[in-house]
A = this chain, B = another copy of it.
């Protein structure tokens, strides 16, 4: 279960749906034989959009789940989870 306030949840969903639309446009660009470099730049824009949404999720997670876990004696596991995200984000 997640603890996401309703407005955060909607913001995340809206962003993800926009990003999925962008990815659909990238597919169209490839089908239309668009120039590789233009396609790559659009894909880099999709990556940026995904990372920003990850930031929204992580920030919410730190403020809710991580904070609760720290207050309830589950600090080690809460920190391990965040570090795991951090290591994979590089």
In whole Å, how far is A43's beta carbon from the nearest beta carbon of chain B?
Answer: 5
Asked if A79 contacts B63 (CB within 8 A), the reply is yes
Band of interface residues on A:
35 or more
- Which B residue sits closest to A83, measured CB to CB? B59
Please tell me if A31 contacts chain B, counting CB pairs below 8 Å.
yes
Asked if A67 contacts B65 (CB within 8 A), the reply is no
Which A1-38 residues have a C-beta within 8 angstroms of B? 1-2, 4, 9, 12-13, 16-17, 19-20, 23-24, 26-27, 30-31, 33-37
Residues of A at under 8 Å CB distance from B? 1-2, 4, 9, 12-13, 16-17, 19-20, 23-24, 26-27, 30-31, 33-37, 39-41, 43-44, 46-47, 50-51, 53-55, 57-63, 65-67, 70-71, 75-76, 79, 81-90
